[in-house]
């Protein structure tokens, strides 16, 4: 137990930002202590038609890696090469920041072949997530 008193474990469906920030700051500090300083910088690439967002890629660069968190295309834009162009742009940003590798995860129903077509290789899989599908992790050397 803590020297400051009794530990109370509770759940919180709507945590205050102060609690969320304390967790994030604590983990970031520990990560930097163990893995070295990392400047987490966002990567945002958008595809627009007449100012309407029709697709986008959201990610982060840190520790010489790019993490691609989200890649989405509107249904009417799929299959036209726009997703690949956005990925190329994000990879160029990552290289300019000194990144040597990239990784992402996707679901088996979200076109994992897109990633293999663009040079990514599978390195992990959770079958049955969600039931009848898989969650798949990909990586690429930049």
pLDDT, one tens digit per residue, over 90-119 is 999 999 999 999 999 999 999 999 999 999
CA distance 139 to 91: 12
Q: Which domains does the chain have, with CATH numbers?
A: 41-141 (3.40.630.30)
- pLDDT tens figures, 59-97: 999 999 999 999 999 999 999 999 999 999 999 999 999
**Residue closest to 43 by CA, chosen among 61, 25, 27:** 61
């Amino acid at each position: 137990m803590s020297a400051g008193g009794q530990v109370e474990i509770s759940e919180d469906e709507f945590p205050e930002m102060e609690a969320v920030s304390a967790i994030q700051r604590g983990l970031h500090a520990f990560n930097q202590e163990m893995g070295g300083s990392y400047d987490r910088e966002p990567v945002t690439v958008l595809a627009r038609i007449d100012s309407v967002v029709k697709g986008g890629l959201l990610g982060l660069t840190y520790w010489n890696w790019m993490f691609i968190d989200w890649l989405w295309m509107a249904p009417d834009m799929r299959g036209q090469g726009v997703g690949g162009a956005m990925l190329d742009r994000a990879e160029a940003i990552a290289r300019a920041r000194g990144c040597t590798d990239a990784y992402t995860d996707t679901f088996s129903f979200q076109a994992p072949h897109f990633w293999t077509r663009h040079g990514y290789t599978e390195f992990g899989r959770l079958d049955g997530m969600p039931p009848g599908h898989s969650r798949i992790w990909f990586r690429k050397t930049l």
